[in-house]
Amino acid sequence: MTSTRGRIWTVGVVGCGIGRSHLEAYRRLPDKFHVRALCDIDERRLANVGDQFSVARRTKSFDDLLGFDEIDIIDICTPPALHVAQTLKALSAGKEVVCEKPLAGSLADIDRVIAAEASAAGRVMPIFQYRFGNGVQKAKSIIDKGVAGTPYLATVETAWRRTPKYYETQWRGRLATEFGGVLLTHAIHSHDLLTFLMGPVASVFARTSTRVNPVEVEDCAVASVVMESGALASLAATLGSQKEISRLRLCFEHVTFESSSAPYSPGDDPWQIIPASQEAAARITDVLAEHRFVPSGFEGLMTAYHTALTTGGALPVSLSDARQSIELVTALYQSAANGVAVNLPIRSTGRQAFS
Ligand SMILES: NC(=O)c1ccc[n+]([C@@H]2O[C@H](COP(=O)([O-])OP(=O)(O)OC[C@H]3O[C@@H](n4cnc5c(N)ncnc54)[C@H](O)[C@@H]3O)[C@@H](O)[C@H]2O)c1
């Protein structure tokens, strides 16, 4: 087998909105990735972003992009309703696939992607870039090394602000094209951090409301959660906060963690790491002595992705992570719709929508 260590992977990005942030990350990693082509149906955006990032090969057709043999990775940054179809097509074309959140609008669709990946040459890396930052990675190491002890309770806040301008983009705010609101599109990141650090969810009771903008999807939500470990968590998410923050507070037996409150990078330092005793403090110091700098956000995620591609090791974010996230959102929507607690795991119902 030929070693792929050190290889530069070639990328085609489709969708030039958040796609710009992916391009910035790839540009900071020139020894790992080279973006060779861009695709967008919006000609002006395609031209602007292509010029900004000096990507010469451009197309308005996703099928053309898939036909470019020199491209290893298709990076999907299109609106949510296109993610599953484009991911399945890219896998069929033999490509590696990166796909923005949410990967799908139902568990049934995620399961179709999981089945397709099982028989494909490439793999799918869903995006959860908030996992990358020094604060969250230090907390993760302390927990994984068994130093934190029994999880007690977490509070997770996503307090962002969205005005009518945000909803001028046609796919946003509509059930048929966005699939959900603050729980699916925005708080999905912080809720992924909760399960990343405290493990799977066992049960939820949620309430949702649309109060901030006149849209079809929810823009305020709260939930009371029981984790599989027995720990309790409370989630609060709104798009009507004049000061934007994201914040996680996680209380364990031997340590309490409090994230930074940077709304779009809560995983970055500084995190407060508060030990319960001198002994816990000493064990935490030992763990953190081994900590190596982790780039934040997309750059951190893509750096870890490169390692996984070149070694064939586990992807930094997997389809099973995306499924866990969509399963939690499904449980939250079902609970809010029916006014009952919903237990996980949830079986795929085959329906296209969450509720
Ligand atoms: N990870 C994050 O932090 C983050 C942040 C923002 C958005 N997102 C996600 O990224 C996705 C895109 O969001 P956005 O804000 O960039 O949306 P956007 O509407 O600004 O950009 C999407 C782009 O896709 C293009 N497009 C649409 N259909 C296409 C097609 N068939 N072929 C090629 N191009 C097509 C559009 O012209 C547009 O330029 C969403 O799923 C969103 O939830 C993730």
Q: Which of 40, 83, 128 to mutate to test ligand 1, by most ligand atoms within 8 A of the CB atom? A: 40
Note the pLDDT of residue 6. 73
Residue 223's pLDDT is 98
How many angstroms does the Cα of residue 168 sit away from the middle of ligand 1? 14
Ligand 1 center–CA 326 separation, angstroms: 19
Among protein residues, the one whose CA lies closest to atom 28 of ligand 1? 78
Q: Which tokens hold the place of 20?
A: 């710009």
Q: Which residues of the chain have pLDDT under 70?
A: 1-5, 349-355
* Reported pTM: 0.96
Residues with CB under 6 A from ligand 1: 14-18, 39-42, 45, 62, 77-80, 82, 100-101, 127, 129, 169, 185
Which of 86, 100, 264 has most ligand 1 atoms within 8 Å of CB, for mutation? Answer: 100
Closest alpha carbon to 125 in 77, 171, 191:
77
Atom of ligand 1 nearest to the CA of 45: 39
- CA 15 to ligand 1 center in whole angstroms: 5
- Tokens for 351, please give them: 């329906």
Q: What are the tens digits of pLDDT across the range 177-199? A: 999 999 999 999 999 999 999 99
Phi, psi of 308 (to 5 degrees): -65, -40
**Helix (H, G, I), strand (E, B), or coil: what is residue 254?**
coil
Q: Which residue type sits at 122?
A: G
Report the separation in Å between the CA atom of 273 and the middle of ligand 1, taken as the mean of its atom positions.
Answer: 36
Going through the chain in order, the beta strands assigned E by DSSP cover 9-14, 33-39, 57-59, 73-76, 96-99, 124-126, 151-161, 201-209, 220-227, 232-238, 240-252, 255-258, 272-275, 342-343
Residue among 13, 16, 18 whose CB has most ligand 1 atoms within 8 A, to mutate: 18
Contact 102, 92 (CB under 8 A): no
Quote the CA–CA distance of 25 and 1 in Å, as a whole number. 30
- 30 cis-preceded (ω within 30 degrees of 0): no
Please tell me the residue having the least CA distance from ligand 1 atom 40: 79
Which residue has its alpha carbon closest to ligand 1 atom 38? 15
- Dist. CA 59–CA 82, nearest whole Å: 17
For the CA of 127, the closest atom of ligand 1 is 1
- pLDDT score, position 1: 39
The two tokens of residue 19 are: 């796609």
pLDDT reported for residue 101? 98
- Which helix (H) or strand (E) element contains residue 86? helix 83-92
Which residue is closest in CA terms to ligand 1's atom 36?
15
Ligand 1 centroid–CA 347 distance in Å is 29
